[in-house]
Amino acid sequence: MVEDAATWIIDWVSSRTADDWRRYVWFATVVLIAYRALRWVVRRFLPWVIGRVFIPIAAGLVVAVCLVLILVQGILALSFRPMGVWPPSLVHGLGDAVASVGRGTMRAVPRLAGGPSLLRHTHRLAIWALLAGIAWSAHEVSCEHDPASLWCTRPLSAVTTVGADLWEAGTDVVLGRSST
């Protein structure tokens, strides 16, 4: 069994041409670049965006909502003044509740800022799984529009064809040949 597998592998490797190997290298390079880019986005960019953009915006929104609710409470309380009566305790309770929720939320916001740092320790397998999910999703979307395309019938062939075309264009640029 091992000898059959080894024979099959040797036959397969020896039957590949230089263009085939170039395409395989191209495909592996694209996959590794995509992995590194996605890893940078998940481990560096998302924590930065969440910590420097979204959390300050969330804190500002909490303050704005609390101000609006306190303003509503104040208007409700002032509406009882012309009648010469004290506002009901429900109106004061609304102001107290808004202040408590606002204080609690503002205390929680700095703790939320520590959450994105967990993304910095995302395991490699999770990033590979995310990359595979993105590739699968892109494949499904492209096949929905054109099911007879090369991408849908033979995706690896399409990738290697694109890789060969880009390789040809790249070598034409490097070697100064005009592409026709």
Following DSSP, what letter does each residue of 100-139 receive, concatenated?
A: HHHHHHHHHHHHHHTGGGGGGG--HHHHHHHHHHHHHHHH
- What average pLDDT score do residues 7-28 get? 76
Percentage above 90 pLDDT, the chain: 4
pLDDT > 70? residue 105: yes
Of 154, 157, 151, 135, nearest in space to 19 by CA: 157
Query: Please, is 163 exposed, middle or buried when counting C-beta atoms within 10 Å of its C-beta (0-12, 13-18, 19+)?
Result: buried
How high does pLDDT run on average in the chain?
A: 80
**Rounded Cα distance, 76 and 130, in Å:** 51
Lowest mean pLDDT, pick from 24-33, 105-114, 153-162: 153-162
- What average pLDDT score do residues 66-90 get? 86
- What average pLDDT score do residues 109-113 get? 73
pLDDT > 80? residue 165: no
Query: Is the full-model pTM beyond 0.75?
Result: no
- When pLDDT is cut at 50, 70 and 90, the band that residue 150 belongs to is low
**Rounded Cα distance, 74 and 79, in Å:** 9
pLDDT for 158: 65
- What does the domain layout of the chain look like in residue ranges? 19-175
- What average pLDDT score do residues 117-144 get? 80
